[in-house]
Structure 1
Amino acid sequence: MINILFTGTAVVLLCFAAYWVRGRGGHRPTGTWAMAALLTSFALAFASYAPAVERAVESVVPHVARLLSNTFTLTAATSVLAFLFQLNLDRERARRQIRLRVLALVLSVAGMTAFFVAEQLTGRHPVLYACYVLIYISYLGYTAKDFLLQTWAQSKRSTRRSQRWGLRTTSVGCGFALVYAAYKLFALVSIGLGLGLVPDGARCSTPLTPFRCAFSVTAPAVAVLLITVGLTLPALLWPLSQLRRRRWERDSFTALEPLWREVTAAVPEVVLDPGNTGADARDLDFHLHRRVIEINDCVLALRRYRPTSVRDAAAAEVARRGTAGTPEGDAEVEAAVIAASVAAKHAGAASEGDEAPPATGTASRRGDLPAETAWLLLVADAYARQSAPANTGVAP
């Protein structure tokens, strides 16, 4: 079971690394190589956790699996910070910080290797092992704490929901890394004082058996998984969100067409490009934006044809049905007024009384394409459900 879990996770992480390296849309985003190094290091760390791999490498060098997994974990931690530095700092500062972290990584791995070799030559002396663990846990704990604080702070400032949740997931993963660091520190104290609280040499049969495996194996594994998912989630969801947005733009463009045809038939001069009123699949955002602008310009051009009497009658009907003050109710009132103004414009009869005021929330929606589109979709739906002559009282 553990072999399948760790080996399978390593394969998935390598696939994620390949996804980052290959680039998307003809370019590689900032921090691509740092992210690829992170995922590859995590993959190798997971592979080293697998009992089959552990037995294979330790048949050559006894107990070397520990050094390998710890080295890959520290490399991944350094890659995490490199990725963060490239996102949050200017290029020169990022390079300087990354160089310092890489230097610290090299020194830490060299120190761990020296103590590991000395430990093997002296029959696994507990003091040497304690020094090894001290180097490892100091670097890992500091990195995990630093990354936890920065990712959580960045998640509060992020505007994209996928990025916000991805950063929070990463922060939780850093929390598990700190649990692992605390366990290793506890083990270090036990070894240093000769308390024997953490048995050495026992292998884990499951992720939770014996109980110490929950801290020594499961906690770092969960930390790696959550950090990987958190950092990769925005990149994976971005194409899906773009696909969803394009579908929404295409559906909205189509749904607004009947209302657009009605109002532009009354005010044809507002159409920006009469010879090109279709939607190009490669530029749906532009065409939807133009359609929304043209509808709003028509409504503005028809304001002297907006009869207050029709607005009052529509508002009374909406209030009678109990939908007054709701977006749907406001859209019904606005649809009735637009229908009346279109009919009046075709008849050449401007409103003799006061002009009906703009719809509720018009000013607050100005410049916000999603909000303005959502509003016009409600108006278009209400407009389609009514007959202009019946609601306006103006002869067609």
Structure 2
Amino acid sequence: MDGKSGIFLVCATVAWVAVAYKVAALARNPRNLNLWALTLCIALPAAGFTMAVPAVYSAVSRLFGVPNLASLLVYSCIVGYSFTALIMLMLWHMPAAEALPRAKVLVFCYGLVLVAMAVLFAASGATVDEPSDFDDVYGPRPVGGTFLLVYVTAFAFGLGVAAWRSLQFAARVARSDGRPWLRRGLRLVAVGSIVALGYCLGKGGYVIAAWLGTRLPALSDAGTLCACLGALVITTGFTVPSWGPRLSAGVEKIGRARSYLRLYPLWHAMYEAMPEIALDPPASRRADLRMLRDLDFALYRRVIEIRDARLALAPYLAPVDEAAVPAGRGDRRDAATREAVRLRDALARLRAAGPGPRPAPPTAVAGATPPARPHDDADLATDLGFLGRVSSALRRLPPATTTVDVSSGTPVGG
């Protein structure tokens, strides 16, 4: 198998997977006209790429007894895709009563193109099967080249209008409901259509150059590459509105799980000093991981328990001496690291104080920076980011050397 056949197989496989995905949706909603059009938009190029594989190409010729019949079928599928895409885009952004009459006109035009292609193919004299080189062998001939030019012209028209309509519809979506994945999908369809226009230019340029006496097979090969790349991008664009939101939800869930795990060092340090903050304390680290099954509740409780613990630590919090704060990148000391130092020292003072009444708030250290603003009133998303950085900084800090004079509450040492 040569490289071109491998590319065709990859494109066909991706497209057929997308078709299967849409057929499953059709089984649940068989009367959805938009879904039928979308499925056909993906199935037509899938069939085209499949028949373009040399082994399948030759099998089609043997089955029907017509050499190179697969070329006519492949190009008919590709042109059919471009017209179907226009119909689908009309169904997406205008009422069916308005779109269907226009769709009938496009179907009629597609029929005329098919008839012209069939007549030219029959008159081309393509009697020797050329699974990999049909365009190179018959394109330089007057009738065969005209057949190819009719094909690429119709295809280019469909691609150009599809790109324009997709961008137009994407802008409308952005102004109205702002569905991000539909907007992205439409833009991908536009990009893929523009890339695929390179195929039309390459094939058309090859034919015209051959008629002028110059063979440029590299131009034809570059066009084929544009077709394959454009097809992959277009297929992604057509399907991403359905699976994109699930991807976003999955990424968001992974982010929440990461935040939950990132908060563990801070929460665990506070829990060891103040076990009463935990509503349902896990028996072990493994048990804590099982809380991920109810992630939203677990994450919310973790933030609330850290907030409660910080409030309880208020009498033990003292301003931080800047010299005690480890420097980060570029000798910078950020707020999260300062807060981690304050909490580490406050927890040390709490443990040193032992049971009994809480001491008065410690006096300020000369030359120390003021305490960081409490984040108890911040929204959850803000707290997650800040507390996550605090937790990471706390995990990297060395143990505190601060003790406390229980009688006065004044910090001594470190």
TM bin, normalised by shorter chain, reads: 0.5 to 0.7
> What does residue 6 of structure 1 align with?
8
The amino acid that maps onto 1:332 is A
Does residue 359 of structure 1 match 2:369? no
CA offsets, 1:6-45, max 9 Å, x none? 234313432343345547xx99xxx876654444333212
Q: Structure 1 213/115 Cα, relative in aligned 2: closer, same or farther at 3 Å?
A: same
Shift of 1:282: 2.5
Shift of 1:159: 10
> What does residue 348 of structure 1 align with?
358
* TM-score, with length taken from structure 2: 0.65
Q: Structure 1 178/130 Cα, relative in aligned 2: closer, same or farther at 3 Å?
A: closer
The amino acid that maps onto 1:224 is A
Rounded to whole Å, the distance in 2 between the matches of 1:72 and 1:255 is 59
CA offsets, 1:133-184, max 9 Å, x none? 54333122221344367669989x9998x99998876655333212123345
Does residue 377 of structure 1 match 2:391? yes
Partners of 1:35 and 1:83 within 8 A in 2: yes
Residue of structure 1 aligned with 2:211, choices 183, 193, 196: 196
Q: Structure 1 334/172 Cα, relative in aligned 2: closer, same or farther at 3 Å?
A: farther
SS in 1 for 2:217: coil
> What does residue 110 of structure 1 align with?
111
Rounded to whole Å, the distance in 2 between the matches of 1:287 and 1:77 is 50
Q: Structure 1 367/250 Cα, relative in aligned 2: closer, same or farther at 3 Å?
A: closer
Q: Structure 1 340/20 Cα, relative in aligned 2: closer, same or farther at 3 Å?
A: farther
Rounded to whole Å, the distance in 2 between the matches of 1:70 and 1:364 is 64
Residue of structure 1 aligned with 2:73, choices 68, 74, 92: 68
Partners of 1:82 and 1:94 within 8 A in 2: no
Say which one has the larger Rg. Answer: 2
Q: Structure 2 stretches of 5 or more lacking a match? A: 125-142, 410-414
> What does residue 49 of structure 1 align with?
52
> What does residue 206 of structure 1 align with?
none
Shift of 1:95: 5.0
SS in 2 for 1:6: helix
The amino acid that maps onto 2:120 is E
Rounded to whole Å, the distance in 1 between the matches of 2:82 and 2:54 is 23
Rounded to whole Å, the distance in 1 between the matches of 2:88 and 2:384 is 32
Q: Structure 1 167/138 Cα, relative in aligned 2: closer, same or farther at 3 Å?
A: closer
Rounded to whole Å, the distance in 2 between the matches of 1:275 and 1:222 is 53
The amino acid that maps onto 2:341 is V
> Which has the larger displacement, 368-377 or 239-248?
239-248
> What does residue 214 of structure 1 align with?
221
Q: Structure 1 110/4 Cα, relative in aligned 2: closer, same or farther at 3 Å?
A: same
Rounded to whole Å, the distance in 2 between the matches of 1:49 and 1:220 is 12
Partners of 1:263 and 1:295 within 8 A in 2: no
Does residue 144 of structure 1 match 2:163? yes
CA offsets, 1:233-277, max 9 Å, x none? 794892874674465255336444413414643xx4x65x45889
Does residue 318 of structure 1 match 2:325? yes
Rounded to whole Å, the distance in 2 between the matches of 1:95 and 1:345 is 76
Partners of 1:82 and 1:98 within 8 A in 2: yes
The amino acid that maps onto 2:221 is A
Task: After TM superposition, list the pairs within 5 Å mapping 1:58-137 onto structure 2.
Answer: 58=61, 60=64, 61=66, 63-77=68-82, 93=94, 95=96, 99=100, 102-103=103-104, 105-120=106-121, 124=143, 133-137=152-156
The amino acid that maps onto 1:213 is S
Shift of 1:372: 3.8
Identity of aligned residues (%): 22
CA offsets, 1:316-351, max 9 Å, x none? 312789855335632433324542674569541131
The amino acid that maps onto 1:119 is L
SS in 2 for 1:212: helix
Shift of 1:46: 0.9
Partners of 2:23 and 2:39 within 8 A in 1: yes
> What does residue 262 of structure 2 align with?
252
Shift of 1:284: 1.4
Rounded to whole Å, the distance in 2 between the matches of 1:42 and 1:364 is 55
> What does residue 304 of structure 2 align with?
293
User: How well do the aligned residues superpose, as a CA RMSD in angstroms?
Assistant: 5.1
Residue of structure 2 aligned with 1:329, choices 323, 334, 337: 337
> What does residue 180 of structure 1 align with?
199
Partners of 1:332 and 1:379 within 8 A in 2: yes
Q: Structure 1 82/380 Cα, relative in aligned 2: closer, same or farther at 3 Å?
A: farther
Q: Structure 1 stretches of 5 or more lacking a match? A: 203-208
The amino acid that maps onto 1:107 is F
Shift of 1:222: 1.9
> What does residue 139 of structure 2 align with?
none
Residue of structure 2 aligned with 1:227, choices 225, 234, 254: 234
* TM-score, with length taken from structure 1: 0.67
